[in-house]
Structure 1
């Protein structure tokens, strides 16, 4: 059984490795190019209302995944809505780490008095859509051809979970 704790600056290289592996597979809306630790750090601490990010350690010092609540938009009127980002290291998937990170994100979102959470995913792989639904999110939109992956432009699905 692992533990969830706040993401520290020293965690950024491992978090970037996990994120960049997903970008390289074409499964992340955080691409299209790999991020540096500085870029990820700025993304996680920027915006009109910097929120929170965490890591999941399955053993001390070994990052198996990470998650974050980030500002959904730069407009202040939407400061009660956060985007959820969750990444699990591929060899560590299917062990409940994503579920634990999602439950942690939901608890923190309520504590921060957020009204809604948004998740952006690509239509494939299909397990991502099923996972969003299992976590209580519903599909509220479809952005056509907005994520560049190689030579193609992929769609993005928008899922929302209201917290109030």
Structure 2
């Protein structure tokens, strides 16, 4: 397993992995996966996991706001393909993302997760994210198996012990 920065040639695999997650109805309010330009432009920091030449997961960080007061605060996204699940890949990806984010000065990371996504909640807790609470009926799903359902969203946060001090 190789963890590395994403490359343009990874675009189709990154999109396919996100599509798998979105199809479950428990990954995001987003209906369509990101194309390469949106992925590249939206995530100033990202890591992919490559297994035998194939990207099987990714983790990325986006700024929560463009306002200077929120510099160093980011939101994480992590997706692992069905092929890569159950091997500790999500933990390796998120751990690497946290480590690299701290080296770049990101001091607070947040995650917004549907409470039904128990595996993602456990992953984030294992990587030092603490639950802040649940926002009830935050948004209404517009696609997939949960279409029309108002969804709760659990908020988790990880504060760096080294960056932003």
- TM-score norm. by structure 1 comes to 0.87
Report what 2:41 is aligned to: 45
Report what 1:19 is aligned to: 18
Q: Secondary structure at the match of 1:86?
A: strand
Report what 1:90 is aligned to: 82
CA change 1:36–1:115 in 2 (3 A) is: closer
- Counterpart-to-counterpart distance in 2, 1:51 and 1:19: 18
Report what 1:103 is aligned to: 95
Tell me, yes or no, if the aligned pair for 1:122 and 1:156 is still in contact at 8 Å: yes
Q: Secondary structure at the match of 2:122?
A: helix
- Counterpart-to-counterpart distance in 2, 1:36 and 1:117: 21
Tell me, yes or no, if the aligned pair for 2:27 and 2:117 is still in contact at 8 Å: no
Q: Secondary structure at the match of 1:63?
A: strand
Unaligned runs of 5+ in 1: none
Decide which of 141, 148, 152 is 1:151's aligned counterpart.
Answer: 148
Tell me, yes or no, if the aligned pair for 1:120 and 1:157 is still in contact at 8 Å: yes
Task: Summarize deviations over 1:92-126 as a string: whole Å, max 9, x none.
Answer: 10101111101101110111011111111100132
How many pairs does the alignment contain?
A: 156
Computed over aligned residues only, the root mean square deviation of the Cα atoms, in angstroms, reads: 1.6
Instruction: Say whether 1:113 aligns with 2:105.
Output: yes
Q: Secondary structure at the match of 1:66?
A: strand
| 1:133 CA drift (Å) | 1.4
Instruction: Say whether 1:70 aligns with 2:62.
Output: yes
- Counterpart-to-counterpart distance in 2, 1:81 and 1:37: 24
- TM-score norm. by structure 2 comes to 0.86
Unaligned runs of 5+ in 2: none
Tell me, yes or no, if the aligned pair for 1:44 and 1:68 is still in contact at 8 Å: no
| 1:30 CA drift (Å) | 5.0
Tell me, yes or no, if the aligned pair for 1:67 and 1:101 is still in contact at 8 Å: yes
